[in-house]
Amino acid sequence: MEIDKLKRVIRRNTLIDGSRRENGAEHSWHVGMLAMTMGEHAPPGTDLERVVALLLVHDLVEIDTGDCFRHDVPGETRPSLQQDGPGPDTLAAATRIFGLLPHDQRVRLRALWDEFEERRTQEARFAKALDRLAPILANHHNEGGTWALYKVTARHLADSVRIIHEGSATLGAYAARMIESSVARGHLAP
Protein backbone atom coordinates (compact mmCIF):
# COMPACT_ATOMS: atom_id res chain seq x y z
CA MET A 1 0.00 0.00 0.00
CA GLU A 2 2.85 2.38 0.82
CA ILE A 3 4.63 2.17 -2.54
CA ASP A 4 1.37 2.99 -4.34
CA LYS A 5 1.99 6.54 -3.07
CA LEU A 6 4.84 6.88 -5.59
CA LYS A 7 2.13 7.23 -8.25
CA ARG A 8 1.13 10.49 -6.53
CA VAL A 9 4.60 11.99 -6.58
CA ILE A 10 4.48 14.40 -9.50
CA ARG A 11 7.89 15.04 -10.99
CA ARG A 12 8.97 18.22 -12.72
CA ASN A 13 9.87 16.38 -15.91
CA THR A 14 7.15 15.88 -18.48
CA LEU A 15 6.28 13.00 -20.72
CA ILE A 16 8.17 13.08 -24.00
CA ASP A 17 5.10 14.47 -25.77
CA GLY A 18 5.00 17.31 -23.22
CA SER A 19 1.32 16.66 -22.44
CA ARG A 20 1.76 16.42 -18.67
CA ARG A 21 4.27 15.87 -15.90
CA GLU A 22 5.21 12.29 -15.15
CA ASN A 23 4.79 10.67 -11.77
CA GLY A 24 7.44 8.82 -9.79
CA ALA A 25 6.14 5.35 -10.59
CA GLU A 26 6.08 6.09 -14.32
CA HIS A 27 9.66 7.30 -14.12
CA SER A 28 10.81 4.17 -12.27
CA TRP A 29 9.07 1.95 -14.82
CA HIS A 30 10.53 3.92 -17.72
CA VAL A 31 14.13 3.72 -16.52
CA GLY A 32 13.64 0.01 -15.78
CA MET A 33 12.57 -0.46 -19.40
CA LEU A 34 15.58 1.59 -20.51
CA ALA A 35 17.78 -0.92 -18.67
CA MET A 36 16.17 -3.79 -20.53
CA THR A 37 16.39 -2.15 -23.94
CA MET A 38 19.75 -0.39 -23.63
CA GLY A 39 21.57 -3.18 -21.85
CA GLU A 40 23.94 -3.57 -24.80
CA HIS A 41 25.47 -0.24 -23.71
CA ALA A 42 26.26 -1.51 -20.21
CA PRO A 43 29.82 -2.51 -19.35
CA PRO A 44 30.53 -6.20 -20.07
CA GLY A 45 29.39 -8.46 -17.26
CA THR A 46 26.75 -6.05 -15.93
CA ASP A 47 23.86 -7.91 -14.26
CA LEU A 48 20.87 -6.25 -15.94
CA GLU A 49 18.36 -7.89 -13.58
CA ARG A 50 20.15 -6.18 -10.71
CA VAL A 51 20.09 -2.88 -12.63
CA VAL A 52 16.31 -3.19 -13.00
CA ALA A 53 16.00 -3.97 -9.26
CA LEU A 54 18.08 -0.88 -8.41
CA LEU A 55 15.90 1.28 -10.63
CA LEU A 56 12.68 -0.06 -9.13
CA VAL A 57 13.70 1.04 -5.62
CA HIS A 58 15.80 4.14 -6.38
CA ASP A 59 13.04 6.75 -5.99
CA LEU A 60 10.88 5.16 -3.29
CA VAL A 61 12.15 7.78 -0.82
CA GLU A 62 10.35 10.42 -2.88
CA ILE A 63 7.12 9.17 -1.26
CA ASP A 64 8.30 11.25 1.73
CA THR A 65 10.62 13.81 0.13
CA GLY A 66 8.80 14.62 -3.09
CA ASP A 67 10.58 14.96 -6.42
CA CYS A 68 14.30 15.45 -5.91
CA PHE A 69 14.98 17.89 -8.76
CA ARG A 70 18.61 18.32 -9.75
CA HIS A 71 18.47 22.04 -10.54
CA ASP A 72 17.65 25.23 -8.68
CA VAL A 73 14.08 26.39 -9.17
CA PRO A 74 13.49 30.16 -8.97
CA GLY A 75 11.27 31.03 -6.02
CA GLU A 76 11.32 27.53 -4.52
CA THR A 77 12.06 27.35 -0.81
CA ARG A 78 12.83 23.62 -0.70
CA PRO A 79 16.49 23.09 -1.60
CA SER A 80 17.26 21.31 -4.83
CA LEU A 81 19.67 18.39 -5.10
CA GLN A 82 22.90 20.07 -6.13
CA GLN A 83 25.16 17.35 -4.79
CA ASP A 84 24.99 13.66 -5.40
CA GLY A 85 24.12 11.46 -2.50
CA PRO A 86 21.34 11.45 0.04
CA GLY A 87 20.74 14.29 2.44
CA PRO A 88 19.28 13.94 5.95
CA ASP A 89 15.65 14.08 4.75
CA THR A 90 16.33 11.40 2.16
CA LEU A 91 18.06 9.13 4.67
CA ALA A 92 15.16 9.53 7.11
CA ALA A 93 12.72 8.66 4.32
CA ALA A 94 14.73 5.55 3.42
CA THR A 95 14.80 4.46 7.06
CA ARG A 96 11.04 4.92 7.42
CA ILE A 97 9.94 3.38 4.12
CA PHE A 98 12.26 0.37 4.12
CA GLY A 99 11.58 -0.01 7.85
CA LEU A 100 7.99 -0.95 7.03
CA LEU A 101 9.20 -4.25 5.57
CA PRO A 102 9.98 -7.53 7.27
CA HIS A 103 13.64 -7.70 8.31
CA ASP A 104 14.97 -9.76 5.37
CA GLN A 105 13.22 -7.59 2.78
CA ARG A 106 14.20 -4.39 4.62
CA VAL A 107 17.87 -5.37 4.53
CA ARG A 108 17.80 -6.48 0.86
CA LEU A 109 15.88 -3.50 -0.53
CA ARG A 110 17.70 -0.92 1.59
CA ALA A 111 20.99 -2.40 0.40
CA LEU A 112 19.84 -1.92 -3.21
CA TRP A 113 18.88 1.69 -2.50
CA ASP A 114 22.22 2.38 -0.78
CA GLU A 115 24.10 0.74 -3.67
CA PHE A 116 22.29 2.98 -6.17
CA GLU A 117 22.98 6.13 -4.16
CA GLU A 118 26.65 5.29 -3.63
CA ARG A 119 27.26 4.08 -7.23
CA ARG A 120 29.73 1.56 -5.86
CA THR A 121 29.09 -1.17 -8.47
CA GLN A 122 28.98 -1.16 -12.25
CA GLU A 123 25.28 -2.04 -11.98
CA ALA A 124 24.63 1.03 -9.83
CA ARG A 125 26.64 3.26 -12.13
CA PHE A 126 24.71 1.99 -15.17
CA ALA A 127 21.38 2.42 -13.32
CA LYS A 128 22.31 5.98 -12.32
CA ALA A 129 23.33 6.67 -15.93
CA LEU A 130 19.88 5.62 -17.14
CA ASP A 131 18.21 7.69 -14.42
CA ARG A 132 20.12 10.76 -15.63
CA LEU A 133 19.58 9.93 -19.32
CA ALA A 134 15.76 9.74 -19.13
CA PRO A 135 15.11 13.49 -18.57
CA ILE A 136 17.69 14.41 -21.21
CA LEU A 137 15.87 12.16 -23.69
CA ALA A 138 12.51 13.70 -22.82
CA ASN A 139 13.69 17.30 -22.98
CA HIS A 140 15.66 16.76 -26.17
CA HIS A 141 12.59 15.32 -27.88
CA ASN A 142 10.09 17.90 -26.61
CA GLU A 143 11.89 21.07 -27.70
CA GLY A 144 13.54 21.75 -24.37
CA GLY A 145 10.46 21.09 -22.23
CA THR A 146 11.36 21.66 -18.61
CA TRP A 147 14.84 22.97 -19.44
CA ALA A 148 13.32 26.25 -20.60
CA LEU A 149 10.75 26.34 -17.80
CA TYR A 150 13.40 25.96 -15.07
CA LYS A 151 16.15 27.84 -16.93
CA VAL A 152 18.43 24.80 -17.12
CA THR A 153 21.51 25.31 -19.28
CA ALA A 154 23.93 22.92 -20.96
CA ARG A 155 26.41 23.87 -18.22
CA HIS A 156 23.92 22.61 -15.59
CA LEU A 157 23.81 19.26 -17.40
CA ALA A 158 27.58 18.67 -17.39
CA ASP A 159 27.43 16.68 -14.14
CA SER A 160 24.64 14.48 -15.52
CA VAL A 161 26.66 13.77 -18.66
CA ARG A 162 29.67 12.86 -16.51
CA ILE A 163 27.57 10.45 -14.44
CA ILE A 164 26.04 8.92 -17.57
CA HIS A 165 29.53 8.47 -19.02
CA GLU A 166 30.69 6.75 -15.79
CA GLY A 167 27.94 4.17 -16.28
CA SER A 168 28.25 3.83 -20.06
CA ALA A 169 30.70 5.57 -22.36
CA THR A 170 28.40 5.15 -25.37
CA LEU A 171 25.35 6.56 -23.55
CA GLY A 172 27.48 9.39 -22.18
CA ALA A 173 28.53 10.32 -25.71
CA TYR A 174 24.89 10.04 -26.85
CA ALA A 175 23.74 12.37 -24.04
CA ALA A 176 26.46 14.88 -24.96
CA ARG A 177 25.34 14.82 -28.61
CA MET A 178 21.68 15.36 -27.61
CA ILE A 179 22.69 18.34 -25.48
CA GLU A 180 24.82 19.82 -28.29
CA SER A 181 21.93 19.32 -30.72
CA SER A 182 19.46 20.93 -28.31
CA VAL A 183 21.72 23.96 -27.94
CA ALA A 184 22.15 24.20 -31.72
CA ARG A 185 18.36 24.08 -32.22
CA GLY A 186 17.83 26.76 -29.57
CA HIS A 187 16.02 24.44 -27.16
CA LEU A 188 18.71 24.66 -24.48
CA ALA A 189 20.81 27.63 -23.44
CA PRO A 190 24.58 27.06 -23.43
Q: Choose among 133, 175, 168, 135: nearest CA to 39.
A: 168
Instruction: Give pLDDT, residue 69.
Output: 73
Cα-atom radius of gyration of the chain, to the nearest Å? 16
CA–CA gap between residue 132 and residue 130 (Å, rounded): 5
Band the pLDDT of 72: cuts 50, 70, 90.
Answer: low
Residue at 141 is within a domain: yes
Q: How confident is the model at residue 186 (pLDDT cuts 50, 70, 90)?
A: very high
d(CA 103, CA 98): 9
Range of the domain at 126: 3-184
pTM of the model: 0.91
Distances in Å between the Cα of 152 and the Cα atoms of 10, 22, 81, 156 are: 19, 18, 14, 6
Which of the 8 DSSP states describes residue 1? -
Q: How confident is the model at residue 85 (pLDDT cuts 50, 70, 90)?
A: low
Mean pLDDT of the 103-132 span: 98
Q: Are 20 and 7 in contact (CB under 8 A)?
A: no
Does pLDDT of 81 surpass 60? no
Gap between the Cα atoms of 138 and 14, Å rounded? 7
Overall domain count for the chain: 1
Q: Which long-range contacts (CB under 8 A, 24 or more apart) does 89-94 make?
A: 89/64, 89/65, 90/61, 90/65, 92/64, 93/61, 93/62, 93/63, 93/64, 93/65, 94/60, 94/61
**CATH of residue 110:** 1.10.3210.10
Q: Could you tell me if residue 116 is inside a domain?
A: yes
Of 84-88, 139-143, 152-156, which range is least confident? 84-88
> Is 117 within the bounds of a domain?
yes
Q: What's the mean pLDDT in 84-107?
A: 91
In a domain, 190, yes or no: no
Q: Is residue 110 part of a domain?
A: yes
Q: Is residue 189 part of a domain?
A: no
Q: Is residue 20 part of a domain?
A: yes
Backbone CA torsion sign across 65, 69, 71, 76: negative
Cα dihedral 44/50/55/56 (nearest 10): 160
